Chains A and B, each alone.
Chain A
Amino acid sequence: MAEPLGLAVLELCPLWGVAFVFHPVSTTLESDWAPLRREGVRFIMTNPKWVEKQQRKEQIMREQAKSRPEWLKIQIRTGPNYKQLKDIMHGRSLHTVCEEARCPNIYECWEQRTATFMILGDVCTRACRFCAVTSGRPSHLDLAEPKRVADAVVAMGLQHVVVTSVARDDLDDGGASIFAATIRAIRERVPECGVEVLIPDFMGNWDALKMVLDASPDILNHNVETVRRLSDKVRSKAKYDRTLELLRRSKEMRPDIRTKSSIMVGLGETMEEILQTMDDLRAVDCDILTIGQYLQPTKKHLLVEKFYTPTEFLRLRGEGLKRGFAHVESGPLVRSSYHAHEQVLRADGMPLQSLRPAQEAAPASSGQGAAVQP
């Protein structure tokens, strides 16, 4: 199902102006897409048209940076927790999406001792136009990683952990077995910790999906990222309909595991398209929705087309709740795993997988209406 990479590059160029590709694609490129100049392992497009386009893009970026909305301002607080978490991660050679994706919430989350582990290495086989994670050819598979993640969860004293990964289209199971092993390793060490996985689409390998579900995560998260019309432009290889099918099949196989998805806004979509995407997610019984502002990580990535106001995010949250999502987290700096722990508490209904025996023993708490926050 792997598409020829040369084609993928041709598709990228009109969008990026400059495409970073780590594979030897020069032979597949037609002559008018040349010249290519080799710089280290990267090929950089030097066509004057792209250069001009890139310059225009950088100009827009500079203007945007000068007038960034107030609501996107963050505070740097590198307190003791932040520093300790950094030591725990780096000491175990673990990766976090917080650092790799240059997440603006890192100071807030790490100070609160929450972090999202990124397993299966730090090199992704896809090159999505919104994501800052390094793309290329991953070198190896680290079978000891699940244990190290579990060790870190213990060291950090987490109550809820989010585990995500790079896409590993080079592996037969897309890395599903490592996901499953990680869930089990955490369960074994910290049975009371909620486990959420944010998985890639495994190229539609549903056996791989089942492998993850069989390990019983509390939440299965798979991001739709954007509306249908922009999906192919924004994401690499991932397909809008395959995302919906993954969420549908998850629910079908394991109705007791909550499903979750995320939409980035500000990529040029219309309000109607966002609402349609919500409808599409609800049609496959997705339980939890997160909506946040797309922010351009580097000049090589897609430009921000619109900065949504906090009021618009509130409206989106209302539209989501109206459609029956158990929980909607919506705000300018909301990211896929932002306040994830609270979502588990609020998205009532099915008990947490890991807490099931304890919850059955305890009297039912008044979880109803908990989705409403001030």
Chain B
Amino acid sequence: MTDVKMPQLGESVTEGTIGKWLKQVGDYVSRHEPLLEVMTDKVNAEIPSEWAGVITEILVEEGDTVAVGTVICRIDTGSAADDAPTDD
């Protein structure tokens, strides 16, 4: 199980707002695949997943603002092979 944290989007930025989850609990996400959108000062940014696996938990809802480093979701990387094909 891997914790996904709110990334830091810029030097002086200390928090981020979740714009939209592009994957839901139970969905498989492959490495580098867009996982969520974060709203920055100027634009919305798509954040790719650093891990491959199945989303087991989403801890921060869309529209919520949390500090950089806060765990925002969990991915089960255990059973999924790195490049396992998705069947959705």
Task: Please say whether chains A and B are actual partners in one complex.
Answer: yes
Chain B residues whose C-beta falls within 8 Å of the C-beta of A102 in the assembled complex: 10, 40-42
Chain A residues whose C-beta falls within 8 Å of the C-beta of B41 in the assembled complex: 102, 132, 295-298
Chief secondary structure at chain B's binding surface: strand
Of A12-20, A70-78, A170-178, A251-259, the one touching chain B: A70-78
The distance in angstroms between the C-alpha atoms of A109 and B34, with both chains bound, is 20
Cβ contact within 8 Å between A99 and B11: yes
Cβ contact within 8 Å between A76 and B45: yes
Q: Report if B46 contacts A (CB, 8 A).
A: yes
Of B7, B10, B11, B46, the contact of A74 (CB 8 Å cutoff): B46
Chain A residues whose C-beta falls within 8 Å of the C-beta of B17 in the assembled complex: 65
Chain B residues whose C-beta falls within 8 Å of the C-beta of A76 in the assembled complex: 7, 9, 38, 45-48
Q: Report if A104 contacts B (CB, 8 A).
A: yes
The distance in angstroms between the C-alpha atoms of A99 and B40, with both chains bound, is 13
Interface string of A81-116 (1 = CB under 8 A from B): 000000000000000000100101010000000000
Residues 7 to 53 of chain B near chain A (Cβ within 8 Å): 7, 9-11, 17, 34, 37-48
Residue from A68, A132, A298 whose CB has the most chain B CB atoms within 10 Å:
A68
Please give me the residue from chain A that is nearest to B7 by CB atom: A76
> A106 → chain B, closest Cβ, in Å?
8
Chain A residues whose C-beta falls within 8 Å of the C-beta of B43 in the assembled complex: 68, 72-74, 104, 295, 333
Cβ contact within 8 Å between B45 and A75: yes
Residue from A65, A72, A77, A296 whose CB has the most chain B CB atoms within 10 Å:
A65
Residues 279 to 327 of chain A near chain B (Cβ within 8 Å): 295-298
The distance in angstroms between the C-alpha atoms of A104 and B42, with both chains bound, is 7
> B28 → chain A, closest Cβ, in Å?
20
Cβ contact within 8 Å between B11 and A297: no
Please give me the residue from chain B that is nearest to A295 by CB atom: B42
Cβ contact within 8 Å between A73 and B37: yes
The distance in angstroms between the C-alpha atoms of A75 and B38, with both chains bound, is 10
Chain B residues whose C-beta falls within 8 Å of the C-beta of A333 in the assembled complex: 43
Cβ contact within 8 Å between B46 and A73: yes
Chain A residues whose C-beta falls within 8 Å of the C-beta of B44 in the assembled complex: 68, 72-74
Cβ contact within 8 Å between B45 and A74: yes
> A371 → chain B, closest Cβ, in Å?
28
Please give me the residue from chain B that is nearest to A75 by CB atom: B46
Residues 122 to 143 of chain A near chain B (Cβ within 8 Å): 132
The distance in angstroms between the C-alpha atoms of A76 and B10, with both chains bound, is 11
> B63 → chain A, closest Cβ, in Å?
8
> A81 → chain B, closest Cβ, in Å?
16
Please give me the residue from chain B that is nearest to A65 by CB atom: B39
> B75 → chain A, closest Cβ, in Å?
17
Of B10, B38, B42, B48, the contact of A99 (CB 8 Å cutoff): B10
Of A75, A106, A132, the contact of B48 (CB 8 Å cutoff): A75
Residues 36 to 88 of chain B near chain A (Cβ within 8 Å): 37-48
The distance in angstroms between the C-alpha atoms of A65 and B17, with both chains bound, is 10
Chain B residues whose C-beta falls within 8 Å of the C-beta of A75 in the assembled complex: 34, 45-46, 48
Contact status of A296 and B45, CB under 8 A, knowing A73-B37, A99-B10: no
Cβ contact within 8 Å between A297 and B47: no
A sample of 14 more A-B contacts (CB under 8 A), given A68-B43, A295-B41, is A68-B39, A72-B43, A72-B44, A73-B45, A74-B43, A75-B46, A75-B48, A76-B38, A76-B46, A76-B48, A102-B10, A295-B42, A296-B41, A298-B41
Chain A residues engaging chain B, CB cutoff 8 angstroms: 65, 68, 72-77, 99, 102, 104, 106, 132, 295-298, 333
Q: What are 9 A-B contacts defined by CB distance under 8 Å?
A: A65-B17, A72-B42, A73-B37, A73-B46, A74-B45, A75-B48, A102-B40, A295-B41, A297-B41
Chain B residues engaging chain A, CB cutoff 8 angstroms: 7, 9-11, 17, 34, 37-48
Q: Which 5 A-B pairs have the closest CB atoms?
A: A295-B42, A104-B43, A75-B46, A72-B43, A76-B45
